[in-house]
Amino acid sequence: MALRKIIPVLLVALVAALPLLAPFTQVMLTLALAKGLAVLGIIVLLHAGQVSFGHALFFAVAAYTAAFVGKSFAGGELVAMMVAGTLVAAVTGLFVGLFVVRYRHIFFGMLNLAFSMIFFSFLEKFYHITGGSDGLQVLRPSVLGIEMERTGFEMLLFYGSLVICLAAGWATWAFLRSPIGNMMQTIKTNEIRLEYLGVSARATLLAGYVVSAALCGLGGVLMAVAQGIVTPEYAWWIRSGEFVFIAILGGANSVAGAFVGSLVYEIVRTYAAAFAADVWQMVLGVFLLAIILFASDGLVGMYNALMDRLGGKGGMRTDDAREAAE
């Protein structure tokens, strides 16, 4: 049924139009998109059945890189920040990855956590380099050499982020469908069979790991520029946990889920957290339990189930819906 394909397009259009209708939502949506990119990185790894509790590391590495670029080159240049941040995140991902891809499941998750904790302590303790817990300021950078006013810059940042997210979503979708993406899926189902085919499981996972680190990095740069400040909190384990939470909320098996999840999460957090500030973590925990126990495909899964019911039998497979959502 065509409805299934139309609704995602309408949703994207709605997100694009929202800042024009309600300008106060613009910053919130930009932050949601930045987080969505990081969540996309988590989803790449979930594709191989691995969950990382330390991906805030790459988010923070890239954000601090952007801050340093800004500090060293008089305000900096947005495109340079994005390139540098993503690159540094990818290289960090390569080095951390070389170590962690030897492990699976619990070890994989917790070793990632250990790395991010080490970086977090570094950010806090080495005050003269990182500004300690006060963090570093990120001044508004120029864009391709053009200095911009605040409103214009924020508008550009939002639509730029939207375009980047759509492109990154499509690229990730293609990556997961490529031979290497299929091999990653085999790590989840049966790794030894993969090795019998002559494929190195570690090299495969490492490729996925670098991609996921780069995605987190890109998200981190956008976040840093949108917020105008980077703090050690970027690398804290709560943030890593948040990424994993959003991935499960949106739907761990789908690219669209990363952005659906992060938009819903950010909107709910902005407006509902005020009423439940004391029990916010509890609310998240209960939701996480409910999703894992009762709706393990997340929001995207619910959407597909709903469409299946509306569209009757023979509805599209999840993959096609994902394609439509892109």
Given the rule CB under 8 A, which residues bind other proteins?
A: 46, 49-51, 53, 99, 102-107, 109-111, 113-114, 117-118, 121, 125-126, 188, 190, 192-193, 237, 241, 244, 248, 278-282, 284-286, 288-289, 292-293, 296
In this complex, which beta carbon is closest to other proteins, that of residue 195 or of residue 323? 195
In this complex, which beta carbon is closest to other proteins, that of residue 90 or of residue 111? 111
CB of residue 247 to other proteins, shortest distance in Å:
10
Q: Is the torsion defined by CA of 215, 216, 220, 226 positive or negative? A: positive
Distance, in Å, from the CA atom of 64 to the CA atom of 123, rounded to the nearest integer, reads: 9
Written as six digits, the tokens of 157 are 């940042």
Listed in sequence order, the residues at least 6 apart from 254 whose beta carbon sits closer than 8 Å to its beta carbon are 43, 297, 298, 300, 301, 318, 322, 325
Among residues 310, 217, 308, 296, the alpha carbon closest in space to that of 250 is found at 296
In this complex, which beta carbon is closest to other proteins, that of residue 114 or of residue 307? 114
CB of residue 253 to other proteins, shortest distance in Å:
12
In this complex, which beta carbon is closest to other proteins, that of residue 29 or of residue 206? 206
In this complex, which beta carbon is closest to other proteins, that of residue 161 or of residue 254? 254
Sort residue 251 into left (φ over 0), alpha (ψ -120 to 50) or beta: left
If DSSP codes are grouped into helix, strand and coil, which group holds residue 97?
A: helix
236 contacts 56 by C-beta, under 8 angstroms: yes
CB of residue 245 to other proteins, shortest distance in Å:
8
Listed in sequence order, the residues at least 6 apart from 216 whose beta carbon sits closer than 8 Å to its beta carbon are 37, 38, 41, 55, 56, 58, 59, 62, 89, 243
Residue count of the chain, please give it: 326
In this complex, which beta carbon is closest to other proteins, that of residue 90 or of residue 113? 113
Strand partners, 143: 146
CB of residue 17 to other proteins, shortest distance in Å:
35
In this complex, which beta carbon is closest to other proteins, that of residue 263 or of residue 284? 284
Phi/psi of residue 136, nearest 5 degrees = -125, 150
CB of residue 51 to other proteins, shortest distance in Å:
4
In this complex, which beta carbon is closest to other proteins, that of residue 62 or of residue 111? 111
CB of residue 110 to other proteins, shortest distance in Å:
5
CB of residue 136 to other proteins, shortest distance in Å:
19
113 contacts 240 by C-beta, under 8 angstroms: yes
CB of residue 191 to other proteins, shortest distance in Å:
8
Strand partners, 229: 137
Amino acid type, 175:
F
Among residues 67, 222, 89, 82, the alpha carbon closest in space to that of 135 is found at 67
